[in-house]
Structure 1
C-alpha cells in the first residue's frame, strides 16, 4: 500500500487538517519567543530618571529676582537650608513672561507648580512675580569665572526636571529643541568626577541667554569649552556661540 501524500497547502483552498497542528505549534513557539525577547530587551533598558511635578499643589517662594541669563529666583540660605535657585517658566513650551527686567534685583514672590529633580527646581508660574517692596538688593556674590571644558548634554530645564520622561537623550531631541526655542532655560548636564550628574545654567559670554545655537546640540553627547562661575546655589556655564556652532 503506497504512503499517503503529505498535506499540501494552497492559498485559495481550505487549510489541510494535517497542517493545523504544526502551524499551531509554530505560532505558540513564536509567541513565547517574542514575549521572552521583549522581557529581555525591557530588562536591558536603563531606567529614565523621573521628577516630581507639582505633587503637593501650588507653592510660593520669596527671594531675589534675577533676569539673566534667564528669569530665576535666588533663595537665600536660611535655617540651615542652603541658598538655592528656582528657574521660572510658563505653561507649555515657553519660558517666563516677557517684560520682567525691571524686577531685576528686587525681592519678589512667585507662585506656581514646582518640578523637582534632585536639587533642580523649575517653577511653572501661574501668575507674574509680585514685587515685595520698592528696594533693590545687591546681586548675590558670584565667584570669578574659571575656564572649564565639560562633556555632557544640552537639555531644556523644564523637561529635564520631570515635565517629560525621558527629558534627555536622543528621544527628547525635538521636544527639547522646541522648549529652548520658546525660552525655557537651557542647562548643560555633565557627570562629575564622583559619578554624580551636575547641572549648569547655560549663558552667553555677555550674561544673556545662549540663543538658538544650542538647539542643534540637544540630544547629543558634546564637549564644550567655556567658563564656569559659581554663586550661592547656582553654577553658570558660559559658552560662546561659535563654540556651540563648532559642534
Structure 2
C-alpha cells in the first residue's frame, strides 16, 4: 500500500512524486505532439500566391474605355505598349452598375476616356480595378483608341474556369470547394469568367471566355466553374489579354483534383 499515492486537492503537498513525473511526461508529450503537428500542417499547405488586392488604398487610373466584351480600361505604358485593366464592381458585382450613371448621359462609352478611382487587384501580369463608387467614375473631354483583336487559332486547353477577382487577389490560394462556390457567385453577379491554364513548361496563362459570337458567357459556364476540364475554342489576342470563344458543349470535365494554375 506504500506505493499507492492518493491526491487530495485541498491538502497541500499531497501530490506524490510518481504522479508528478507522470504529469510531466504527459505535458511534454502533448507539447511535442502539438509542435510536430503544427510543423507538418504548415509544410503540407500550398504556398500563398504573389497576388495583391489593395483593398485599403485607392488608385486613380485614366484610360480609354472599351468592352471586348467585358469592361476594360486601356492605358498607355510606352510607345506601342498598352495595358488593358479589367473592370469589376464592388463585392460580387460587375462594373456595369457603376457605369450606368454615365451611360444615361452617353449612348456609348466605347473609345471615350474615363478616370476611375478604385482598388487595384493584380497577379501574374494581369490587373483588375474594383470600382466602389459611381461618383469616382469621371468622363474626360478626350477620346482614345480601342485595341483590335487578332485571331490566333482553334485550340484545346486543360484548365479551370475561375473568377479573376477572387483568384487574382481576394482568395489565396483560389482553388477547391470554397473557391468554387465563391467563383459561382461572382460570375453569376457579372464578373467575367476566365480560363486558368498552364503549358508543358508550367507557365500560367489566362483566357477571358466568351461565346462563339464574342459575347459574355457568364450564365452558361456556371456548371463548369472550378472543375478541371478540357476546353476547346478559338483564341483571339487583345494586346495583353487572350480571349477564348467557346461552345459549352465542347467542355469536358476531367475526374481529377483541382490545382492552382
TM-score norm. by structure 1 comes to 0.81
Superposition pairs of residues 31-70 of structure 1, within 5 angstroms: 31-54=31-54, 57-70=57-70
CA distance in 1, matches of 2:29, 2:40: 16
Q: Which moved further from structure 2: 221-230 or 160-169?
A: 160-169
Superposition pairs of residues 1-247 of structure 1, within 5 angstroms: 21-22=21-22, 24-54=24-54, 57-79=57-79, 82-98=81-97, 99=100, 102-128=108-134, 129-133=137-141, 137=145, 139-244=146-251, 246-247=252-253
Q: Which moved further from structure 2: 216-225 or 19-28?
A: 19-28
User: Any idea what the Cα deviations from partners look like across 1:206-232, whole Å, max 9, x if unmatched?
Assistant: 212122232333332222111110121
CA distance in 1, matches of 2:155, 2:111: 28
Is this contact kept in 2: 1:170–1:220, CA < 8 A? no
CA distance in 2, matches of 1:216, 1:4: 73
CA distance in 2, matches of 1:211, 1:31: 50
DSSP-derived class of the 2:73 partner = strand
Is this contact kept in 2: 1:110–1:127, CA < 8 A? no
Is this contact kept in 2: 1:68–1:209, CA < 8 A? no
Q: Which moved further from structure 2: 32-41 or 50-59?
A: 50-59
User: Any idea what the Cα deviations from partners look like across 1:15-68, whole Å, max 9, x if unmatched?
Assistant: x96666435523531331232022122112220204222279322222222223
1:13 corresponds to: none
DSSP-derived class of the 1:102 partner = coil
CA distance in 1, matches of 2:56, 2:25: 53
DSSP-derived class of the 2:150 partner = coil
CA distance in 2, matches of 1:19, 1:131: 79
1:11 corresponds to: none
Unaligned runs of 5+ in 2: 7-14, 254-261
CA distance in 2, matches of 1:163, 1:32: 35
CA 1:149–1:218: 2 relative to 1, 3 Å: same
Unaligned runs of 5+ in 1: 9-15
CA distance in 2, matches of 1:34, 1:135: 63
CA distance in 2, matches of 1:192, 1:56: 35
CA distance in 2, matches of 1:130, 1:241: 37
